[in-house]
Amino acid sequence: MKCISTAFALLAAAAAGVQAANIQLVGSVMNSAAKEPFEKSKTLVYAGGKTKRDAPKVYEPDPNRDYNLEDGYIFVLQCTTVGFRPECISFGSEPGKCVSYFDFDPKKGDDPTSISDAFNHNVTSISTNTGGVCQFYHYTGCDDKLDDRGLSTSYNYNLNVSLPEDSRTVEYFRNITSWRC
């Protein structure tokens, strides 16, 4: 009976999109403040649509080239306390997919908006697992209304500190809703 209940618990966790992930991290992330939170935080994977790219086409050497991801997902560690301190979640999605915190809310249960309530317009630290740049936006839809050019970054210890390469960083402190990697 114990084996059956354990198997049921594992299946229930898998169905919810929560997984204990062994996320691949590039060297720059391995030597950063994001390493430990990546390893210890809850991981959610977006299980929605299968389109490769929703973004407008830009120059790409070969638009049909394979992605160099072992698991097929890019993970973004996002924390609600500066310096990658709890609460943190690693959000995983396919490359090119626009996702928001609302996409990760549980579909059933006692608190169907638990993820969006905790993270929407509340993130202070972000890091990708690949070291590649993601685009972060104020609103859902990843600039589908062309009113938010977004913030491009791969690692930010404190979004409330303006960076020399983009002084708009502070505009995204506790003000992110969607992203695309």
Question: What tens digit of pLDDT does each residue of 70-81 get?
Answer: 578 899 999 999
Of 4-18, 29-43, 144-158, the poorest mean pLDDT is in 4-18
The answer to whether 90 and 23 are in contact (CB under 8 A) is yes
Q: Identify the structural domains of the chain with CATH numbers, from first to last.
A: 18-180 (2.60.20.10)
Helix, strand, coil percentages for the chain (3-state, nearest 5): 20, 25, 55
The two structure tokens encoding residue 80: 């609600």
The answer to whether 66 and 15 are in contact (CB under 8 A) is no
The closest of 70, 103, 110, 68 to 89, measured between CA atoms, is 103
Q: Is the per-residue pLDDT at 147 higher than 60?
A: yes
Average pLDDT for residues 33-45, to the nearest whole number?
A: 84
